[in-house]
């Protein structure tokens, strides 16, 4: 179980914990004034990496936005907007961020694919997770026609 230490300062917050592999990990959240957007600094292999996140509100019919760009998702022809609670959720890779890094209980993030998530989060997913999502997405594509 990870133990979080919260260090509050004027413009940023640090969350430090020891991972299950006994590595000390520090996440720094920079406060932002835009609602639904937050920035996290993470130490990865001894180097500090920064990422900005755009959160999708977990409210029925809320617009789904890309976690990296903040742009709303919609069909290729622009006629169908992707909303929370719709079948369009299954076309995207959905993640619930529950690390406490963004000073909320959790954040819902959507990505085009597991690989986009890996690049943005500086980590690697198992092949099983990627294959499960691929099957789910293909089934959702078949069902939308």
**Average pLDDT of the segment spanning 108-124:** 92
Smallest CA-to-CA distance from 35 within 111, 96, 103 is with 103
What are the tens digits of pLDDT across the range 66-100? 999 999 998 888 888 899 999 899 999 999 988 77
Domain that holds residue 44: 5-143
Better pLDDT: 116 or 28: 116
Predicted local distance difference test score (pLDDT) of residue 8? 37
Average pLDDT of the residues in 29-44: 64
Mean pLDDT score of the chain = 77
Is the entire prediction scored with pTM above 0.95?
A: no
Mean pLDDT computed over 100-125: 85
- Choice between 97 and 145, residue whose per-residue pLDDT is larger: 97
Judged by DSSP in three states, 129 sits in helix
Measure the CA–CA gap between 34 and 127, rounded to whole angstroms: 35
Cβ contact 34:65 at 8 Å: no
Q: How confident is the model at residue 103 (pLDDT cuts 50, 70, 90)?
A: low
Angle in degrees, 0-180, between the axes of helices 127-143 and 114-121, rounded to the nearest 10: 140
pLDDT for 15: 44
- pLDDT value, residue 20: 44
Single out the residue of 112, 107, 111, 122 nearest to residue 27, CA to CA.
Answer: 122
Average of per-residue pLDDT across 39-65: 86
3 pLDDT above the threshold of 50 = no
Domain count, the chain: 1
């Amino acid at each position: 179980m990870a133990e979080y230490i919260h260090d509050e300062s004027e413009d940023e917050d640090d969350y430090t914990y020891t991972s299950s592999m006994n590595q000390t990990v520090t996440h720094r959240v920079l406060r932002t004034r835009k609602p639904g957007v937050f920035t996290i600094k993470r130490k990865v292999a001894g180097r500090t990496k920064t990422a900005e996140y755009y959160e999708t509100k977990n409210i029925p019919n809320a617009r789904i936005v890309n976690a990296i760009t903040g742009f709303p998702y919609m069909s290729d022809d622009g006629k169908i907007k992707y909303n929370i609670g719709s079948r369009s959720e299954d076309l995207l890779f959905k993640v619930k961020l529950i690390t406490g890094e963004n000073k909320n209980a959790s954040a819902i993030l959507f990505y085009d694919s597991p690989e986009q998530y890996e690049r943005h989060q500086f980590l690697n997913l198992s092949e099983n997770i990627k294959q499960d999502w691929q099957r789910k997405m293909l089934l959702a594509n078949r069902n939308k026609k």
